[in-house]
Structure 1
Amino acid sequence: MIAFLEAIRDFTETGGQVLLVIGLLIFIMWLLILERAMYLLIWHKNYKNQAVADWKARQDRSSWFAEQVRAKTVSALTIQLRGSIPIIQSLVALCPLLGLMGTVTGMIEVFDVMAISGSGNARSMASGVSKATIPTMAGMVGALSGVFASTWLNRMVKTERMKLEDALIIDRKG
């Protein structure tokens, strides 16, 4: 366990302070993703069943007013379904930007080393180059994993909304 923590510390030292911010951002993003997944897979069923039961308990399911109640129910449950997905998508977009910031700060360090020691010292420039590339990689990995997860969540929300719309059938009297 101690070796694992030392490896993480060494990784964050080679990547710079921006890497800590990226790590925190990815951690928060995945907490929100797991919360949405648990809501979709576990808790949403209760809300959906209650909405369907309330709809079937209504006597009037064919009037204009009934259509408005149905639309309100579908909209309210869709808002609950989406929950923190817009925040997740914002965090996904923020990951590469923070990686770019890490690249810029790493390159500034490279230029500082070049100004102090001259352009011929490749060993002293190597730490700045790693501080430039590691945050970029971390930001991209976080963004890619978040894109896949948010796409899956959006697909699940769309599917659940369609199932809810199908379950709340309007009785047409002809």
Structure 2
Amino acid sequence: MLNESMIALFQQFFDQGGKVIPALFVLALILWSLIIERFYFIKVTYPKLSQRQIDHWSQRKDKRSWNAHKIRELLISKNNARLNLWLSSIRVLIAICPLLGLLGTVSGMVAVFDVIAVTGNSDAKAMSAGIYKATLPTMVGLCLALSALYFSHSIKQLVLKYSAQFEDRLTIRSNIHQHPQGVL
């Protein structure tokens, strides 16, 4: 549970980064929820689901007709759709992170230049706090995007691996390489 000092630390961080930091925090929650969901699905749910589909295919008597091939293609297509669910959303959220951080930097720099224009003071010490506040959102956005990019790539590699394995297992179970009556 969060104690008061940790809550104060988060509040200070949000205040230092401006209005974009809370938006990045919400974006991070959504992004990491999707990443964790995909890992959970691929590692826990998917093996049972794919095994049920392969068992269903194995119980079919007709595996070599045109209809059977189309059913097999449908199974592969549904399997790939399940594996790839949320991957494009994850990639879009990763792309938004640095852009949102950059928005925070631009708005922070505008505020710094506004203070300079109003006060007429270009003291470097006075501007340093504003520049820090302006660059913090970019750092947060880049760190979030880079860390999520690694896991997104890992998920994509798992999806490619499991998709190929599923297709191979259906092929082995159907003796698809043996063409009926020697004709394609």
Aligned partner of residue 76 in structure 1, secondary structure:
helix
Aligned to 1:10: 12
Aligned to 1:36: 38
State the superposition RMSD in angstroms: 1.1
TM normalised by structure 1 equals: 0.96
Aligned to 1:63: 65
Equivalent pairs counted in the alignment come to: 174
| 2:49 is aligned with 1:53 | no
CA distance in 1, matches of 2:122, 2:93: 40
| 2:128 is aligned with 1:143 | no
Runs (4+) of structure 1 moved beyond 6 Å? Answer: none
Structure 2: any 5+ residue segments left out of the alignment?
Answer: none
Aligned partner of residue 27 in structure 2, secondary structure:
helix
Aligned partner of residue 62 in structure 2, secondary structure:
coil
Deviation at 1:133, TM superposition (A): 0.8
Show CA shifts across 1:48-103 (max 9, x none).
01110011001111122211111110110111111111111110010011011001
Aligned to 1:123: 125
Deviation at 1:119, TM superposition (A): 3.7
CA distance in 1, matches of 2:61, 2:129: 73
Deviation at 1:123, TM superposition (A): 3.1
Show CA shifts across 1:116-174 (max 9, x none).
22243223312220121100000001111111111111111111101100110142144
Moved more, 55-64 or 132-141: 55-64
* Percent of residue pairs bearing the same amino acid type: 34
Aligned partner of residue 60 in structure 1, secondary structure:
coil
CA distance in 1, matches of 2:122, 2:107: 21
Aligned partner of residue 30 in structure 2, secondary structure:
helix
- Counterpart amino acid of residue 18 in structure 1: V
2:160 to 152, 155, 158: 158
> CA contact under 8 A between 1:106 and 1:129: conserved in structure 2?
yes
Structure 1: any 5+ residue segments left out of the alignment?
Answer: none
CA distance in 2, matches of 1:123, 1:16: 19
Aligned partner of residue 139 in structure 2, secondary structure:
helix
CA distance in 1, matches of 2:127, 2:22: 22
CA distance in 2, matches of 1:57, 1:51: 10
Q: How does 1:106-121 map to 2 (within 5 A)?
A: 106-121=108-123
- Counterpart amino acid of residue 29 in structure 2: F
> CA contact under 8 A between 1:36 and 1:153: conserved in structure 2?
yes
CA distance in 2, matches of 1:141, 1:119: 33
CA distance in 2, matches of 1:38, 1:125: 46
